């Protein structure tokens, strides 16, 4: 573990520099005084051109100087100037760290969850896809594969922005699962210990759906997409699931819905009756998530379902003719070898799900696992290669990437990427990641994102993840949401 002392002539860059150091050295600690390294960054210049000078001292020493005249391009406004200063600070830090032996980062100075936002920002300014790709490699220091991936995803997404412009989408969170997977850091309460909270939670959710439904109808707002996620919504009993779907159907104006997704992540929660309910209520996209097709790994990660249950669930989804089946996988799971990964991918491809989402394991503190204990079993140095090979394999099988995001602490600093067969993009995923349209978040852990349709500024209001807290605060949460909804149309 190395300690760092950071200094920059531009005020307000402490967190910016720390984020960059942490991306290159996840164990870094920060302070002043007797740190192992001191990094100093100076950015100077005008809108005609900026120069960054960086120096690292301590255990090792290096210097960098680079200039950016590109910011003088008239397509950039003055807000871009401040942003570019920050980007140059990060680039200075990363160059210094690389010159003193830290690994090259595949996503360069893009340390955030949504690297595609920068792609759309530059395209909106009027730069061509080729120009943006070049900038991603030069200014943002992305590896050529990641720059190409981002450009491909960005161009697939842009037509969808028009389709959902000015329209809301709805997320409903059901924060329960049968049991908790060892790696999971989501809002997920296992029924084994929290079943007593389900009825109270559903009562509160019913109230939220009814109140929000009334306002949507009054304001003439018709959702573009609806997504029931979690947790595992299909962990509810048939009666509970039926009530929920019926209420949604009755309360929300769904006549112009483009897509209706239900996460059914754990195949052992599915049966024909539940899936028939989903189908009857107009669900168009179902997500059944094996994460791995390797029985040994399934047991190792605590999924507590079998491959046979997955196969039975997929067969039911196909028999009921849902337009879109999504299946999630995770790369970098403990104990997995290249053969395991290839085996899972080939098995998964055989199901021919319309969407396949390839995640990279992200060891989080909120998970049940103490990742320091399984770290030695994770093939971190191989994961980037597996992902690149998977991209080629998926391409050969007719899939292309349509959305992506990154998580902090992802193994080998990789990404999560959704692939699709032609014309089957999961629209909600694009909306959620790119934040070009408002999403109302209902239920446990539901995050409402209020997007300004002109400048795409986002403000967030979260529902509590805890089902008991959600129930206690439901009136106040709904009142706040209703007030924001009313304000958003005035
Ligand atoms: S099924 Fe999904 S949400 Fe539930 S515990 Fe496992 S990873 Fe978490």
For domain 1-103, is the CATH number 3.90.950.10?
yes
Question: Which atom number of ligand 1 is nearest to the Cα of residue 183?
Answer: 7
In short, whether 231's Cβ falls inside 6 Å of ligand 1 is yes
Question: Residues 156-197: pLDDT tens digits?
Answer: 999 999 999 999 999 999 999 999 999 998 889 999 999 999
Q: Rg of the Cα trace of the chain?
A: 23
Confidence (pLDDT) at 95 = 97
In short, whether 188's Cβ falls inside 6 Å of ligand 1 is yes
Residue that has been written with the tokens 């871009």 in this structure: 80
Nearest residue to 274 (alpha-carbon basis) of 284, 264, 265, 260: 264
What are the start-end ranges of the E strands in 82-175? 169-174
pLDDT for 52 beyond 80? yes
Nearest residue to 313 (alpha-carbon basis) of 284, 261, 270, 263: 270
Burial 8-35 (b: 16+ CB within 10 A, else e): beeeebeebbeebbbbbbeebeeeeeeb
CA of 473 to the centre of ligand 1 (A): 25
CB 275 within 8 A of CB 315: no
Question: Residues 315-346: pLDDT tens digits?
Answer: 999 999 999 999 999 999 999 999 999 999 99
Residue nearest to atom 5 of ligand 1 (CA): 180
Q: Read off the pTM.
A: 0.95
3-class DSSP assignment, residue 148: helix
Residue nearest to atom 3 of ligand 1 (CA): 231
Q: Where do the CATH 3.80.30.20 domains begin and end in the chain?
A: 165-484
Neighbours of 129 (CB within 10 A): 15
What CATH number does the domain located at 165-484 have?
Answer: 3.80.30.20
- Pocket test residue of 181, 269, 301, 363 for ligand 1, highest count of atoms within 8 A of CB: 181
Q: What percent of the chain has pLDDT over 90?
A: 90
Confidence (pLDDT) at 403 = 98
Question: For every residue of 321-345, which 3-state class applies, written as one string?
Answer: CCCEEEEEEEECCCCCCHHHHHHHH
User: Residues for the chain: how many in total?
Assistant: 490
CA of 305 to the centre of ligand 1 (A): 12
In short, whether 177's Cβ falls inside 6 Å of ligand 1 is yes
What are the start-end ranges of the E strands in 297-432? 324-331, 355-360, 400-405, 416-420
> What DSSP element (H or E) covers 387?
helix 380-396
pLDDT for 217 beyond 80? yes
The pair of structure tokens assigned to 46 is 């005008």
Q: Where do the CATH 3.90.950.10 domains begin and end in the chain?
A: 1-103
pLDDT for 433 beyond 80? yes
Residue that has been written with the tokens 């200063």 in this structure: 85
Using pLDDT thresholds of 50, 70 and 90, give the confidence band for residue 364: confident
Using pLDDT thresholds of 50, 70 and 90, give the confidence band for residue 77: confident
The pair of structure tokens assigned to 350 is 């055989």
pLDDT for 373 beyond 90? no
CB 218 within 8 A of CB 256: no
Using pLDDT thresholds of 50, 70 and 90, give the confidence band for residue 146: very high
Between 366 and 348, the more confident residue is 348
Question: Which atom number of ligand 1 is nearest to the Cα of residue 231?
Answer: 3
190: left (phi over 0), alpha (psi -120 to 50) or beta: beta
Q: What percent of the chain has pLDDT over 70?
A: 100
pLDDT for 490 beyond 80? no
The C-alpha angle with vertex 285 and arms to 279 and 287, in degrees rounded to 5, equals: 110
What are the start-end ranges of the E strands in 250-399? 259-263, 285-287, 324-331, 355-360
Confidence (pLDDT) at 408 = 86
pLDDT for 234 beyond 90? yes
In short, whether 291's Cβ falls inside 6 Å of ligand 1 is no
Q: Taking all residues of the chain, what is their mean pLDDT, rounded to a whole number? A: 95
- Kindly state the average pLDDT of the residues 392-408: 96
Confidence (pLDDT) at 34 = 83
The C-alpha angle with vertex 251 and arms to 459 and 468, in degrees rounded to 5, equals: 60
pLDDT for 32 beyond 80? no
Confidence (pLDDT) at 366 = 85
Neighbours of 162 (CB within 10 A): 8
- Pocket test residue of 186, 301, 363 for ligand 1, highest count of atoms within 8 A of CB: 186
Provide the CA 403 distance to its chain's centre, in angstroms.
9
């Amino acid at each position: 573990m190395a300690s760092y002392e950071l200094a920059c002539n531009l005020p307000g860059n402490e967190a910016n520099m720390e984020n960059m150091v942490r991306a290159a050295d996840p164990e870094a600690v920060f302070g002043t005084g007797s740190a192992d390294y001191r990094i100093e960054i100076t950015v100077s210049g005008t809108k005609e051109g900026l120069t960054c000078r960086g120096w690292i001292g301590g255990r090792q020493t290096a210097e960098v100087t680079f200039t950016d005249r590109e910011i003088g391009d008239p397509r950039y406004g003055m807000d871009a100037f401040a942003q570019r200063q920050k980007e140059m600070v990060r680039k200075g830090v990363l160059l210094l760290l690389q010159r003193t032996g830290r690994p090259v980062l595949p996503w360069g100075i893009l340390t955030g969850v949504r690297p595609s936002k920068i792609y759309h920002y530059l395209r909106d300014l009027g730069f061509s896809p080729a120009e943006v790709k070049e900038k991603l490699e030069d200014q943002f220091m992305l590896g050529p594969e990641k720059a190409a991936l981002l450009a491909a995803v960005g161009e697939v997404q842009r037509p969808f922005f028009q389709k959902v412009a000015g329209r809301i989408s709805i997320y409903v969170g059901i924060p329960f699962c049968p049991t908790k997977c060892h790696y999971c850091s989501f809002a997920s309460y296992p029924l084994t210990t929290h079943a007593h909270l389900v009825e109270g939670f559903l009562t509160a959710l019913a109230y939220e759906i009814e109140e929000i439904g009334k306002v949507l109808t009054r304001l003439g707002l018709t959702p573009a997409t609806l997504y029931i996620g979690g947790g595992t919504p299909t962990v509810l009993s048939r009666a509970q699931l039926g009530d929920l779907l019926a209420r949604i159907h009755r309360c929300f104006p769904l006549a112009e819905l483009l897509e209706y997704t239900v996460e059914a992540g754990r195949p052992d929660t599915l049966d024909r009756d539940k899936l028939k309910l989903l189908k009857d209520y107009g669900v168009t996209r179902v997500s059944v998530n094996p994460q791995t097709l390797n029985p040994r790994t399934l047991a190792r990660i605590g999924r507590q379902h079998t491959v046979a249950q997955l196969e039975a669930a997929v067969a039911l989804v196909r028999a009921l003719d849902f337009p879109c089946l999504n299946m999630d996988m995770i790369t970098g799971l403990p104990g997995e070898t290249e053969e395991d990964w290839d085996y899972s991918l080939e098995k998964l491809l055989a199901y021919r799900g319309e969407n396949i989402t390839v995640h990279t394991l992200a060891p989080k503190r909120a998970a049940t696992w103490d990742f320091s204990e399984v770290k030695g079993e994770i093939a971190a140095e191989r994961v980037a290669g597996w992902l690149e090979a998977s991209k080629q394999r998926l391409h050969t099988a007719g899939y292309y990437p349509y959305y992506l995001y990154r998580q902090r602490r992802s193994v080998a600093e990789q990404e999560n990427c959704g692939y699709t067969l032609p014309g089957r993009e999961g629209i909600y995923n694009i909306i959620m990641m790119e934040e070009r349209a408002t999403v109302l978040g209902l239920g446990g852990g539901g995050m409402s994102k209020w997007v300004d349709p002109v400048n795409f500024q986002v403000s967030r209001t979260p529902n509590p993840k805890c089902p008991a807290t959600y129930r206690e605060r439901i009136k106040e949460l709904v009142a706040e949401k209703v007030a924001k909804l009313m304000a958003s149309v005035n």
